[in-house]
A and B are shown apart, each in its own frame.
Chain A
């Protein structure tokens, strides 16, 4: 367990260079950057993270980060907009997010080649605005996304377990659609409906095809098209999950009985 160290801008750039140049070939993660004063410094927040901690799901990761920040008395508002901090968190556990495969490589490193602002938004959060405290977009980030989803829902019965199921490097549209929309991530009733529709309780996993865009009533349609349409006439924040569930159009019937 070590006190969190945060990459400085030079450190983030070195991390980005590693992602561009040698990550795919299986190069060792440059975690030394986190211990080198030229590239990082001790966080002003007294947050302690265990570099040997292993996460089998995004839920575990989100819960762990939420707990560690909470133990340090750090609010979500204080950390959710810190680009360097979130790049540092991914670097700390890089081998879990991007493991070395049997052939010695790390396979294809997820990136957005066309994005002129951040090519590696899963590792380094993307800045949306020009600058300022509300400028990070966590929806594509391996650590910030699960943290935000968990932290918003930590006081609920299921703590967004359906959305946060699956390995920490498995990243579906559902997580992006959720973590990227404040009207979704902050609506606990809607998060509960997602579980009611798509969670296979018996097998402890999401139902197959839940995010397949060609299937009627898939999660992407629920969170984007339908929600945008419904919010003109309904207020899902004030409706109980069962009320929302019962009011969904017939295209969701398949998921209610699956």
Chain B
């Protein structure tokens, strides 16, 4: 059953196209620079917002939060200091734009994510985004939690920078992504179905990245995973793990991952 959500609140959606955002400064806490274009032709519905309404940019990451006051709706201005000093991460941030008058929420954007690896989120919609961070000796990690706008595939910044310098960005190296992505898919499904004890039926209908991952996985195989019973537990979590393993195998099969790797190996001689 498809569950549709209706907005009866009167709150307007701020289109992504009205927001041009970047994380700048490559050392220390980044600056969250946001410029607004409320005259955008697809944002006519915003024109009934009072000119004096306040525009806020609410940035968050994990258990950290900062609010930036961008002044009045009629002429937003960037605050003098937009450094994300209070955020847990200095390499990525989720943010929402809110327009408020006298405590009434008049309009809000959908949650957006910026990373230093992909600083412009304006039109980007994906299941996962690359990010960079100092990970010690770990080459990469999958970072996913409930409040994220999009999960992150975090590369070790030393590796990322070295690849950039050599002219071959990591996220554009096909062989590398062939090796990583099965683990990413497995990690995502482990998190959604086992860690979060997710019900794939409910998730399937969610208009979020969680729903998108489940829809993608279910397209790969003919079967569906077990659903949790009433107390949120699975009767046998091994069955879920087995289904996830089948999905990852089907994914690898569909893309012929190992065949590609073998082909590249033969072409390059392992170089």
Contact = CB atoms under 8 A, between A and B. Distances in A.
A132 B103 contact: no
Interface residues of A, number: 33
B185 to A, nearest CB: 13
Contact of B54 (A81, A132, A133, A238): A238
Given A77-B87, A233-B10, A235-B98, A134 B143 contact: yes
A164 B143 CA distance: 31
B144 interface: yes
A128 B143 CA distance: 9
B233 A114 contact: yes
B62 A237 contact: no
Interface of B: 9-11, 54, 56, 58, 60-65, 67, 86-89, 98, 100, 103-105, 133, 135, 138, 141-147, 154, 187, 191, 194-195, 233, 237
A183 B60 CA distance: 9
Contact of A130 (B10, B88, B191, B237): B191
Contact of B63 (A114, A130, A182, A239): A182
- What 9 pairs between A and B have smallest CB-CB spacing? A134-B62, A186-B65, A239-B103, A235-B100, A131-B141, A132-B143, A129-B145, A232-B9, A134-B88
Nearest to B99: A235
A77 B64 contact: yes
Given A132-B141, A138-B63, A235 B105 contact: yes
B145 A135 contact: yes
A131 B138 contact: yes
A159 B142 CA distance: 36
Given A77-B88, A233-B11, A130 B144 contact: yes
Interface string A229-242: 00111111111000
A185 B104 contact: no
B145 to A, nearest CB: 5
Contacts of B138: 131
A211 interface: no
Contacts of A130: 141-144, 187, 191
Nearest to B84: A77
Contact of A235 (B65, B104, B141): B104
Nearest to B91: A133
Interface string A128-168: 11111111101000000000100000000000000000000
A80 B103 contact: no
A2 B233 CA distance: 44
A132 B86 contact: no
A231 B141 CA distance: 33
9 contacts: A129-B143, A129-B191, A132-B154, A133-B88, A138-B63, A186-B64, A234-B105, A235-B104, A238-B56
